[in-house]
Amino acid sequence: DGTIPFWRELGERVHEHGSKFVLQLAHAGRQRDIPGIEFRTGLSSTGKPDPLHGFEAERATPAELEEIVRAFAAAAVRAREAGLDGVEIHGANGYLIDQFLHESANRRTDEYGGSIENRCRFLFEVVEEVVAAIGADRVGLRLAPSSSFGDMHDSDPAAVFDRAVVGV
């Protein structure tokens, strides 16, 4: 809430030049190498450590995932309160949503793992809540099916991302 005035001012400056301002919303998951931010142990789909930096990660519980879904929606509402035009959900490049999509990082056996449908569940929940919060016309989604950043890979990426795109 304390950053809303900053984003409002920045958004006004962007709008003065006739441009739109869309804020990217992300959860880094196990990739938590953001300068200046101190993290507790990262959360991931299955608790595999970050392959880039070796950071430890804990398997996110369903309750933690529900909290993260609500946080995405709350952040989208704050972006709109700040006068921004919309948000882009970051579901790529080894961040948390991407960790659920790829079998290389998702070894879960519950409703968030295994089948392609289950691996897409977290993405679908995030998109659904953000759209409900600010409207579909103000939400974008970033996916990167061919990116292997963060050791992301899958035996059938076309099937995973076909389902991800159709589902949202």
Scored b (16 or more CB within 10 A) or e, 123-136 reads bebbbebbbebbee
**What pLDDT does 38 receive?**
58
Q: In what order do the strands lie in the sheet with 22-25?
A: 22-25, 86-90, 139-142
Annotation marks residue 112 as catalytic: no
Q: Is the pLDDT of residue 151 over 80?
A: no
How do residues 30-62 score in pLDDT, each as one tens digit?
776 555 655 555 778 887 666 666 666 678 899
Instruction: Give the strand pairing for 57-59 and 139-142.
Output: unpaired
**Which of the two residues, 118 and 28, has the higher pLDDT score?**
118
**Given 25, 43, 57, 95, which residue is catalytic?**
95
- Distance CA(19)–CA(21), nearest Å, equals 7
If you average pLDDT over residues 13-32, what whole number do you get? 89
**What pLDDT does 119 receive?**
96
**What pLDDT does 68 receive?**
94
**Which of the two residues, 168 and 128, has the higher pLDDT score?**
128
User: Cα–Cα–Cα angle for 135, 141, 143, nearest 5°?
Assistant: 165
Mean pLDDT of the chain: 88
Contact predicate 42/32, CB 8 Å: yes
